[in-house]
A = this chain, B = another copy of it.
Amino acid sequence: MKILVLGGDGYLGWPTALHLSALGHHITVVDNLVRREYDAEMGVDSVVPIALLDERVKKWKEVSGRRIDVRIGNLTDAAFTYGVVAECKPDAIVHFGEQRSAPYSMIDREHAVYTQVNNVVGTLNLMYAIAETNPGIHLVKLGTMGEYGYPDIDIEEGFIEITHKASTDVLPYPKQPGSFYHLSKAHDSANIMFACRVWGLRSTDLNQGIVYGQSTIETDLDPVLATRFDYDGVFGTVLNRFCVQAVMGRPLTVYGAGGQTRGMLHIRDTVACVTLALENPAEQGEFRVFNQFTESFSVRDMAEMVKKASTKPVQIAQGLANPRVEREEHYFHAANTKLLDLGLEPHLLNSGVIAGMLDLVERYRDRVDPEAIAPTVQWRSSASTLKTGNTSSDASFLEV
């Protein structure tokens, strides 16, 4: 298949591009390289050093003999997006090309607006480009389990049968997203579902849990092929952060009661799930939703697992002030059978996996800035005190 991987320079986009290329697909990575700019803005960097996209692609050619094409541009630029779709003539498009950090979207007004416009307009442009170029293109869109929020009923995969008074219908699962980022993903999902209905597009919405790990079969082939490992307060995710704290001899920071429970998956399952979705495409006109996670853990559970896996003594700091507004002890039971039914064989989380992550961080411990771990963005405040390199995020817009 000819496949565009949008956001193919990012944490998950790059390993996905490699994996699909290894399987023999013709891959074009599309990226505006903005993820690297966010690092500069935040003054942080991946624990694992990552090569430039050109170097990555060149190394992959050396290692595998396979070519990955690259197009640099912004999906919010319609001419660019139409052009890439028209020229590359893909059979499928995997769409990772969005701002994906909840704290980043909550920094202040500019970052909230940026996140929603970037994500929603990029996806609108893509939908129109598909509709006007080839409606047969299968759009595999990354969403998030966080779109659902944390209701007191079981979370289903995208849709739920509701019996109300005397009648019954199957309706989109109610969404309670927990940040402007998560909201942008819910907006996207609603827009795509509509496009499938009125234009007959075909799309798979992958509502992904929190990904951990950094090693895939392909990224392990050479250090130049490595993908990111983020631990900072804005882009770092919980398990990666705990591993960094353990290695640095700092207490693992559990915000709030620690009962926050999340669907999780290994990075190898991300690339496997995307592949399964591509190999088993949605029908023409179909909008389907897969919940993409393999296990669920509470934040407290994860801290305990890291403590257990570490060869060094680890302290857990419980009950710290929670920067987010969220439920800290809650019901969580979410369906995730659709990808298993397609043949997913999960890589489960165990001490060996965590030990591997700890080893990785140990190797690059000189690159860790412990000050970058603390949460700097507060959900309760509409304007963060985070100092960023983004001059448009100072308060000058208030001086009218």
Contacts and interface: CB of A to CB of B under 8 A. Distances in A.
Interface stretch (A89-97, A114-122, A348-356): A114-122
Contacts of A380: 198-199
Interface string A306-342: 0000000000000000000100000100000000000
B190 A194 contact: no
A162 interface: yes
Interface in A105-121: 108-109, 112-113, 116-117, 120-121
Query: Copies of this chain, how many?
Result: 2
A132 B400 contact: no
Contacts of A173: 174
A167 B333 CA distance: 11
A331 B171 CA distance: 14
A359 interface: no
Given A120-B120, A132-B398, A397-B82, A177 B190 contact: yes
A187 B123 CA distance: 14
Contact of A174 (B128, B162, B187): B162
A148 B230 CA distance: 39
A167 B382 contact: no
A176 interface: yes
Interface in A190-245: 190-191, 194, 197-199
A305 interface: no
A178 B178 CA distance: 25
Interface residues of A, number: 60
A324 to B, nearest CB: 8
Given A162-B153, A169-B153, A190-B183, A113 B124 contact: yes
A63 interface: no
A371 interface: no
Contacts of A183: 187, 190-191, 194
A78 B169 contact: no
Nearest to A127: B382
A154 interface: yes
